[in-house]
Structure formats: structure tokens, C-alpha cells
Amino acid sequence: MQKIIRQLANELNIREKQVANTLGLIEEGSTLPFIARYRKEVTGGLDDALLRKFFERFTYLKNLEIHRKEIYRLIDEQEHMTDEIAVSIEKAKTITELDDIYRPYRPKRRTRATIAKEKGLGPLADIIWLQETTDQEIDRLALDFINEDEGIKTSQEAIGLALDIIAEKISDDAKIRKLIREYTFKNGILLTKAVTDKESVYEMYYDFSEPVSHIVSHRILAINRAEKEKFINVTISVDQDQVVNLVLARLLTETCRCPQLIEAALIDAYKRLIAPSIEREIRNQLTVKAEEQAIKVFGENLCNLLLQPPIKGSVVMGVDPGYRTGNKIAVVDETGKVLDTAIVYITLDHHDKAKGKKIMKRLIDDHKVNIIAIGNGTGSKESEIVVAELCSELDNGIQYIIVNEAGASVYSASKLASEEFPQYDVGLRSAVSIARRLIDPLAELVKIDPKSIGVGQYQHDVNQKELAESLKGEVEYCVNSVGIDLNTASASLLQYVSGITASIAKNIILYRDEKGRFNNRKELLNVKMLGPKTFEQCAGFLRIRDGENILDNTAVHPESYEAVNKLFKSLNWSIEDISNGIEIKQLTDSASLDLGQLASSIGLGEPTLVDILEELKKPGRDPRDELPKPLLRTDIVGLEDLKEGMVLTGTVRNVIDFGVFVDIGVHQDGLVHISKLSDKYVRHPTDIVQVGDIVKVKVLDVDIERKRISLSMKDL
């Protein structure tokens, strides 16, 4: 364990004590959100992002050590262990290096080398490998190995079989494999060739080449998909002569007397055994790296989407557009409660749009609707036209917004939705979901499989287990960083709170249904299966509005309540002063306040005291409130209205490796290529924008037939 601690400290540039303390907390059952928020003194202030990286790397290193011990055991059991092998195993830094060391001792199927050994050619191979005998002498010695019963009729056949043994020996050499792998990665060229003349989205890869060391992640995933769908063949090309010369310099002794035979064995080993294997390894390495990048981008996009600011205090009309089956409408209040539903037909030419608008007007008047949220699916454009007309006719300040409905149909057909709204069909459930996404994106989107939300790239091509684990971590981070209302949160939302399992989340809902609202955090201990450890992990992330203790509506953990009372006494505050955050802010921002001394006097660490004071400034605050609000509209722009040079305001819908997709209100997101994001060099689009950002863009080109819009964020 000390070895892992030392390595983590070096890799993450933190102290070994921080590593040891953090591992101790994890072993005790503490969650990463809890550690990040409430154990800063113990970890030295490691934040959530670093902790997740810490845990991921720790898991790999722990598995590496397990693999290291297993490789040692397997070789030792075969009685092949030497001091040199033991040192190599100890020094190996990756699982790949350990597998290379074990390769010569791994049980093999019958190969050309094993067949040659069975025929008795091992001694001849040993003579050649010593390199102390000339070709002519070896040819004479090989006569002794002729055996017609074994099918060896000539000395050359005997030598050929001996070289098969040497070729496998070369192939199994860990140092040689590492040398060739590194050379191929550095100098290899990835080539793709078409195997069909069919038109496809992969045409750019029908005759494509790029250095292995330079190829970008999203291109790897596109090539993999094209190959899987049998549009292309993929190979890695490298100069064989250069590789052979590089390895030969390592193999030949200074006094070698049979270089041609050694070279022949090497060429055979490379072409038949090493090159195909190395190509698979490198392609797998590229794929793993590409998948990691895709998962990372997906996670960042998802997090930014979930943390979009809610539209508070508004009654929202959700519209799920449709053609034949009409537009499903649901009106929800500021808490997400469904007030009314309807179906209107406004998208096709023969529909009675005046009647549809009349129904919508009635709903707007009856329930004082402030905003109309329109899903961006089929029929959205036609629905927007009618809604824009309606906004103009009402002239009461009502606005609309196009909401990304990705995953709404998945949710509406789910068991969860049927339990939540058994009285509605799937269309009306989708309308409710669309409206609620505007009121509180986080609370609604956690009900949907993150992979269905549509803010990634190639999400179906990456390792699904790793993707799911990463996205779950992002959702947990978002939920815990915002805090959850204990008396209104759904089970779907509660199960992402630190320490709370799906079963405990359901028990919280059952307790709430039976006993009524929670009045203080301590009541959580009455919930079935929720013991002291779970309470410790979750309490600080759960809020109780208008409860018995105003601290229960903050991120202050109950374990610090006693210290807060001491804080009040030392500063002559009362609990009522918390409601007046302005005075607290003025005092805590004062340069005369000695935080270190104050923390010591009330028995807290300074980082925890700073967090508490920030909470007291704005009790019950939602960190999302400080973000830019969604872009609302009252008019409509069509694709045909766009002209080159127009400057528009839009919302970033998706960020991927090669650019950014922006919703400019024409039902077709425009692409800002990475080269058009800034006048300066852009390493990755996420360095410039995030999902949900409101940005100004300039129209560069519009292809109406293919529905493609090229945009730029430069020169504005």
C-alpha cells in the first residue's frame, strides 16, 4: 500500500499524508462528495474532481498490484522465476508490461514453435541462438536432426523448424515487444481503404492516412465504427526494414557468426507474430484513449446540462409536438405539480389551428402561464409558428423556449413514469417532462438514463460500463453540489445523494407519505435502513425549507451545529441574524476578522469555517441561480431566413471534440467548428464554451437542402 500511496502522491502532486488520509476515509465508507465537502481538513482540501481522479487511479494501481502478484505466482509455480524476472515484474508500471513478461510462460495452443520442439529441434535452436557457430557449421550440424518419421527430410527443413522456435522466443521477449510497440506508435501510419463504393457518412475514410501519434480521438471512434459496419479496412503501416534493423542491433552479439539466420528468424517473428499483435494492441490503446476522451466530454456536457439554472416562480406549459396524434400539453406550477392537460392539433395544414390556439389561450388564462416550453422533436417547427403567433396575439409578455426533449420518450414509457403518472398516456407524460425540464432541469433529467440525453459523441461506441460509471459520478456531483429539498425530491433524485441507496430513497418517500413532511434533519434517523453512517454521509446535502432549524436549509452539516452556536456567541449573533445575510456578509468580509483564531476558538478547521460562513451569507441559496438564464423567445426565425453574415444569439446544445453545436432557434443546430471558436489556438472546445452557454454567433454558410448551418464565434 505504501508504494501506491507514494505513486499517487507523485502523480497527483499532493502529499503522501493527504493520500493516506483520503484512503482511510474511503475505507471507512465515506463517499467522494462527502469527503470533498466535509473533510477538507483531513484531505488537505482535495476537491471533487481531483478526488474522482484519485479514486480512478487508485483503483487501477490496486488492480495492477493484484496482477503483479498473480504474474509472479504463475511464473514461480512453473519454477522459471529468476532475480532478473522478479526485478522486471517489480518495475512494471502497466498491466501491458506485466503481460509481456508473462507471455513466454503463458500456456499456448500448439504453435509452429511447439511443434518444432516436439520434433526435437530445441537443441539446434539453442545452438543458433548462441550465435557462436557459422551458417556452414550449422548446416552440417542440422544433418543430425533429419528425421523422416517426423517429416524432416533435409538440413534446411531442420534449420527452418529451429528458426520457428527462435522466432517465438523473439516474439515473447518483453523488451523487444516494448521497443517495437513504442517505435510503431511513434512512426506508424494508420491507413484506411474502402471495401465498398456505397455512399456513406464515412467517405472521408475511404482512402485516408494519418500518423498514429497524431490522430485525434473522435476520428478513431469514427474509423472504428466504419470498420465495424464493413465500409473500410484499417491497417497500421510502418517501415519493416527500420524495425528489423532497430531490433537486430539489440539481438546480435559482437561476435555473432550467423547474422543471416538470426535476421531471418527476426523477420519471420515480426511479420507473423509481433506486427499483427502490436497493431491490435496499439489500436486498442488508441480506442481506450478515444473512449476516455469521449466519456470525459460526455460527462462535462451532462454536468453542465444538469446544472442549468431553473426557471423559478413560473407556471409552465409543456408542449410535446406531434403530427397525427396532435400536440400533448401539460401545465405545471412552480413546484412541478400538474395543473391541467390537453391535446391540440396545430401542426398539419388541415388542422383547426384557431381551435388549438383557443384551447391554449384558455389554459394560459386559467393557470396564469408565464412560459411555454416546446419540445424540439417531430412537429416542433410547426408548433413554434403557432405558439409565436399566440404570444403576439396575447400581448401579455408570455414567452416560449425550445427545450431539448432527448430522452423524454424514454422516460414517458418507463416504469417510473407510469408509477408517477398512471392516469396519463406516454404523450402527456412527455409534455410534463418537457415542462419540468425548464422548472428544474436537475430534478427531471436524473430520471432519465444519461446516455439518452444526447449531449455526447459516439456514446454507443465506447465501453458502456465505464460510460455508465462516469456519468453516474457526474450526476452525483451535480446533485450533491446543488443540494436537494428533502420534502419534495423524488426517489430518482434522492438516490444520487451521498450515501443514499435506491432502497433508502424509496424508504424516505414512504416515510414522507406516512408521517408527512420532515421538520428537521434528525428525523432521517427514523427512516428504515438509514443508520448513523448513512446520516453522516447524506444529511448535509439534504435541505429542509421552513423547518425547525434554519441551518437545516443550508449545507452546514449537523455535526457542526454545536460549533455554529459557539460562533454565534463569540460574534454576538442570534439564529435570526442568518436571515439577514447582508450584515453577515459585511462582517465576514471584514479584513479584521481573524479566521484562524476564530476557527480554533470554536473547535473547527479553517476551511470548514469558511464554508459555513459562506452558507450563512445566503442560507438556502441555489448555486445555479448565479448562472445565465435560458434564452426565451417571442418571435421565430426559419432556416430559409438565415443569411451569410447574420449575427444571432443562441444556446450551446452540445460540445464535442471538433466543435460546438448551437441552437439559434431554427430547429437545426448550427456547427461552430473548433477553428471558428476563437482567434487564439483552442486546445479543446470545452476551454471556450460549455453546454447551456448563451453565445453570439455569425452565420458563415447555410445549406438548406442538407439542413447544415456553419457558424463562427470569431470577429464579433
Express each pLDDT in 10-36 by its tens digit: 999 999 999 999 999 999 999 999 999
Q: Which residues contact 515 (CB under 8 A, 6 or more apart)?
A: 523, 526
- What is the number of structural domains in the chain? 3
Per the domain annotation, does 533 fall within a domain? no
Q: What confidence score (pLDDT) does residue 111 get?
A: 92
Residue 651 scores a pLDDT above 90: no
Whether the pTM exceeds 0.85: the reply is no
Residue 518 included in any domain:
no
Would you say residue 181 lies in a domain? no
Above 60 in pLDDT, residue 591?
Answer: no
C-alpha cell at 404: 431539448
Q: What is the reported pLDDT for 352?
A: 93
Residues 228-246 have a mean pLDDT of 95
**pLDDT above 70 for 578:** no
Residues 328 and 430 sit within 8 Å (Cβ to Cβ): yes
Q: What is the mean pLDDT of residues 245-266?
A: 94
For the domain that residue 57 is a member of, what is the CATH number? 1.10.10.650
**Cα separation of 523 and 535, whole Å?**
10
pLDDT digits (tens, 9 = 90+) for 429-438: 999 999 999 8
Judge whether 73 lies within some domain. yes
Residue 686 in domain: yes
Let me know if residue 119 belongs to a domain. no
Note whether residue 258 is domain-resident. Answer: no
pLDDT digits (tens, 9 = 90+) for 333-359: 998 899 999 999 999 989 999 999 999
Q: What is the mean pLDDT of residues 571-580?
A: 68
Q: Cβ distance 238 to 189 under 8 Å?
A: yes
Say which CATH number the domain at 644 has. 2.40.50.140
Average pLDDT, stretch 487-516? 94
Last residue of one domain, picked from the residues 439, 464, 495: 439
Which CATH number characterizes residue 358's domain?
A: 3.30.420.140
Domain final residue, candidates 55, 80, 105:
105
Higher-pLDDT residue of 627, 101 = 101
Q: Which residues of 396-416 are buried (b: 16+ CB within 10 A; e: fewer)?
A: eebebbbbbbbbbbbbbebee
- Domain assignment present for residue 67? The answer is yes
pLDDT in tens, 381-418: 889 889 988 988 887 889 898 888 888 888 888 888 88
Give the pLDDT score at 589. 58
Query: Does residue 579 surpass a pLDDT of 80?
Result: no
Q: Would you tell me how many other CB atoms lie within 10 Å of the CB of residue 322?
A: 23
Three-class HEC string of 185-254: HHHCEEEEEECCCCCCCCHHHCEEEEECCCCCHHHHHHHHHHHHCCCEEEEEECCHHHHHHHHHHHHCCC
The last residue of a domain, from among 42, 72, 105: 105
Q: How far is CA 166 from CA 116, 135, 384, in A?
A: 10, 15, 73
Domain that holds residue 14: 2-105
Identify the pLDDT of residue 585.
58
Q: What is the pLDDT of residue 571?
A: 77
Q: How confident is the model at residue 603 (pLDDT cuts 50, 70, 90)?
A: confident
- 618 pLDDT above the threshold of 80: no
Of the two residues 455 and 517, the one the predictor is more confident about is: 517
As a whole-number percent, the residues of the chain with pLDDT over 90 amount to: 58
Tell me the C-alpha distance between 511 and 348, whole Å.
48
- Residue 566 CA to residue 573 CA, distance in Å, equals 10
**What proportion of the chain, given as a percentage, has pLDDT over 70?**
96
Strands 232-237, 316-320: pairing is unpaired
